[in-house]
Chains A and B, each alone.
Chain A
Amino acid sequence: MSDRLSVFKTYKLFVGGKFPRSESGRVYEVTDSKGNWLANAPLSSRKDARDAVVAARKAVGGWSGATAYNRGQVLYRVAEMLEGRRDQFVAEVDDAEGLSKAKAAAQVDAAIDRWVWYAGWTDKIGQITGGTNPVAGPFFNVSSTEPTGVVAVLAPQESSFLGLVSVIAPAIATGNTVVVVASERAPLPALSLGEVLATSDVPGGVVNVLSGRTAEITPSLAAHQDVNAIDLAGADAELAKELEIAAADNLKRVLRPQPVDWAAAPGTDRMTAFLETRTVWHPTGSLGAGGSSY
């Protein structure tokens, strides 16, 4: 070990493309799996959550209006940026989850690859969720999917990085913007991810990261009238029920918590959960019976 005294990093929230501290001025101690102090993370307030929703809403138009190709390029850029900071995340996941170096590295590698997986989905999901419908009448009828809007995401509590990426990437791939509440016990990889997103051409406000007490912040997100959907991945059964009830007030789309092996290849369900289907009818007119021309 070198004698050099290292420089600590102040971990901050990531909201609207900026790195604010909690407006409450509060922090909480984050420790490694053995209880050693790692950092003081912001202890977000309900006001922080509302600010994050405002930032996410502001970003919806631009992000959902970007071409799917462009969103794919941006998600791929995230993978490129993460690859370059792989060692940092391996160390953070190692600290956060008490894994062996090799297991932590496997988590980070899988998380990088997950961005690539969803980068490829941006311009394909519409092709498997939409299509024309052969209605019995002279109409052109086509269904297509579009993002629901702002999604509140409770990141998984145990899988601090792979689980986190696995819930953020599918929501934003389709054009939603998210407010994500990091793992309460292990928020540091999530807060560092904000630094990567900020340098990956992800527009500010598309992903907003909060750290703090899940049970304190999430009720205001679940009840927020300008949030369209909520992913309850990181909620226990009791909290999940409470939040689902609150979410019913404006009929948020709810993805309930379920046992997920974050290392396994994902399907499409985390994308389709946050899509709306729009069907357009248009008369086709008629040119008469027509012939059977070659």
Chain B
Amino acid sequence: MADMANKAFAYAPAPESRAVVDIAPSYGLFIDGEFAEATGGKVFKTISPSTEEVLSEVAQGSAEDVDRAVKAARKAFEKWSALPGAERAKYLFRIARIIQERSRELAVLETLDNGKPIKETRDADLPLVAAHFFYYAGWADKLDHAGYGANPRPLGVAGQVIPWNFPLLMLAWKIAPALATGNTVVLKPAETTPLSALFFADICRQAGLPKGVVNIVTGDGTTGAALVAHEGVNKVAFTGSTAVGKAIARTVAGTDKKLTLELGGKGANIVFDDAPIDQAVEGIVQGIFFNQGQVCCAGSRLLVQESIQDELLDSLKRRLSTLRLGDPLDKNTDIGAINSAEQLARITELADSGEAEGAERWAPACELPENGFWFRPTLFTGVTQAHRIAREEIFGPVLSVLTFRTPGEAVAKANNSQYGLSAGIWTEKGSRMLAVASKLRAGVIWANTFNKFDPTSPFGGFKESGFGREGGRHGLEAYLDV
């Protein structure tokens, strides 16, 4: 940072050791309990977005590979779904425990492959991953109590496609409820972050999970498309962009496949004039700069009551100046790397459109590393509802600030979006919070907090943010024939 010398104290580098993780030079597909090359032997490289260093080579799964994986899952389904729930529970408890045991290794791996700060993988992603398996493990033998009638049945083979922003956590959100309810899965991790899913395959091995219950097929969008289109798949679960979600909805049209989609968002974070400013500032920062803003439920639109705009923005800018951007493995890093060159280009283009359309751009002075993909934490003021940066999901560390005068106006502006995933409300007045919450068309609403997650709490969107819920008792429904 430019004014580092003026700071009360500086930080010495505090990197987490890479020695805890051993990445193989290449990985195959995990099908029927074995690692195997892709048919045709095609591979692609996965890199560290903070250094552009090649981490490993990964198999590019073909339609044929997807077919093998689905058949393996189908074969495994018979026995797996017939197991007593208590037995499935025990496997999932084992997996949860092994994840806890190996959590530091997996946190470092995730940081390397994704670019997010170790602080987040270590303290958010991994604890949530383990907790998710623990939670759904417990449901496996309690499905009769879940409110879906007696003895609810699984669907069959679940085809699951997950994004790169929380690779292992999204895997957990998909696999844990699917297995607990008696389904078997074929999962395709994101092209840029395949490694933690492949490490998860090893965890399945350690847990003694029967072959074919979990299959991991790496690849790009074509692999995912082959998976969701496969006629042997009974259930499709996708987390990712709204555009791809719509394409998947068209693909499964006319079939019996059950579909759940967790898509984009443009969350409104609404700050009223009676909000505690310092807490709101922390919540705003957490809302949009957590994971470099690459979060579908990010609070990417700040709606601030006009009378406190200046005070809030002064405080927010001061806070942003203290964020530390750099080596994701450094324990003091707040802002890590953007996941890919492609994503960086998308963020850059949208941010530039903000300036071009007349909003005022501000970013703290901060040096960017030479290699890798980086974007300064940025905020725009003077944003109108018509601006692209107020309408489109940027999926990066860019905050658009709008103002309002009345609660009614705040609600109208918050709801003026194709999306409806998350929202935040900051006020000391409980009745106002509840009144506003009841009018917001969003699946998750945080009051005086933001970006809180828990396996017991359902997550998912209204409108074009998708449908279906993950987490909680509600999350079981997506994998049950009900």
CB distance from B343 to the nearest CB of A (A): 29
B436 at the binding interface (Cβ < 8 Å): yes
Q: Which residue of B lies closest to A118 (CB)?
A: B138
Q: Is B391 an interface residue (CB 8 A)?
A: no
Say yes or no: B408 contacts A287, CB within 8 Å: yes
**Residue B358 lies at the interface, judged by CB distance under 8 Å to chain A:** no
Q: What is the 8 Å Cβ interface bit string for chain B, positions 393-425, against chain A (1 contact, 0 not)?
A: 000000000000001100110010000000000
Q: How far is the CB of A73 from chain B (nearest CB, A)?
A: 7
Count B interface residues, CB 8 Å.
36
8 Å CB contact of A286 from B89, B90, B435: B435
Other CB < 8 Å A-B pairs besides A124-B135, A288-B408, A294-B415, 4 of them? A116-B93, A119-B93, A119-B138, A285-B429
Contact A76 B93 (CB under 8 A): yes
Please name the 6 residue pairs, one residue from A and one from B, whose CB atoms are nearest each other, closest first.
A120-B138, A285-B431, A285-B435, A284-B434, A283-B431, A140-B434
* Contact with B472, one of A73, A121, A122, A127 (Cβ below 8 angstroms): A127
Whether B456 sits at the interface, judged by CB under 8 Å, is yes
Residues of A within 8 A of B26 (CB): none
Q: Given contacts A120-B139, A293-B412, A293-B415, are A287 and B430 in contact (CB under 8 A)?
A: no
How far, in Å, is B417 (CB) from chain A's closest CB?
9
CA distance A121 to B435 in the complex (A): 33
A69-B131, A117-B86, A128-B145 known; A284+B438 contact, CB < 8 A: yes
Q: With A140-B434, A287-B407, A288-B408 in contact, is A120–B439 under 8 Å at CB?
A: no
A123 within 8 A of B: yes
B214 to chain A, nearest CB (A): 20
Closest to B440 in A: A293
A226 is an interface residue with CB less than 8 A from chain B: no
A127-B456, A285-B432, A287-B436 given; A120·B441 CB < 8 A:
no
Interface residues of B in 220-246 (CB under 8 A from A): none
- B456 — which chain A residues lie within 8 A by C-beta? 68-69, 123-124, 127
Partner of B142, one of A121, A283, A290: A121
Are A120 and B141 closer than 8 Å at their CB atoms? yes
Across the interface, which residues of B come within 8 angstroms of A282, CB to CB? 430-431, 434
Chain A residue numbers with a CB within 8 Å of B139 are: 120, 124
Residues of B within 8 A of A72 (CB): 134, 138
> Nearest Cβ in chain B — how far from A261, in angstroms?
16
The contact sample of 10 A-B pairs, CB cut-off 8 A, is A113-B86, A120-B138, A120-B140, A121-B138, A123-B455, A123-B456, A124-B138, A265-B141, A284-B431, A294-B415
Q: Is the CB of A120 within 8 A of B142?
A: yes
The reply on A268 being an interface residue by CB < 8 A is: yes
| List of B residues within 8 angstroms of A68 by Cβ | 456
Whether the pair A128, B434 counts as a contact (CB closer than 8 A) is no
Residues on the A chain within 8 Å of B142, using CB:
117, 120-121, 124
Question: Shortest distance in angstroms between A34's beta carbon and chain B's nearest beta carbon?
Answer: 34
Closest residue of B by beta carbon distance from A76: B93
Q: For the complex, is B147 an interface residue (Cβ under 8 Å from A)?
A: yes
Closest to B90 in A: A116
Among A119, A268, A285, A287, contact of B145 (Cβ-Cβ < 8 Å): A268
Q: Do A287 and B473 touch across chains, with their CB atoms under 8 A apart? A: no
- Name the residue of chain A whose CB is nearest to the CB of B464: A294
Question: Inside 8 A of A290's CB, which chain B residues have their CB?
Answer: 411, 439
B398 shortest CB reach to chain A, Å = 25
Q: Is A284 touching B147 in the complex (CB atoms < 8 A)?
A: no
CB distance from A112 to the nearest CB of B (A): 10
Report Cα–Cα, A233/B432, bound state, in Å.
Answer: 49
| A287-B435 contact given A120-B138, A121-B142, A124-B139, CB 8 Å threshold | yes
By beta carbon, the residue of chain A nearest B438 is A284
Instruction: Tell me which residues across on chain A come within 8 A of B140, comparing CB atoms.
Output: 120
Docked Cα-Cα span, A286 to B145, in Å, equals 36
- List A86-106 residues whose CB lies under 8 Å from chain B: none
Judge if B463 is at the interface, Cβ distance under 8 Å: yes
Q: How far is the CA of A113 from the CA of B89 in the complex (A)?
A: 10
Tell me if B178 is interfacial: C-beta within 8 Å of chain A. Answer: no
A120 and B89 in contact, given A127-B472, A282-B431 (Cβ under 8 angstroms): yes
B266 to chain A, nearest CB (A): 14
| Cβ-based interface call for B325 (8 A) | no
Known interface pairs A128-B473, A268-B145; A116-B434 also in contact (CB < 8 Å) = no
Whether B141 and A287, one on each chain, are in contact in the complex, defined by CB atoms closer than 8 angstroms, is no
Closest to B135 in A: A123
* Binary contact readout A187-206 vs B (1 if CB under 8 angstroms, 0 otherwise): 00000000000000000000
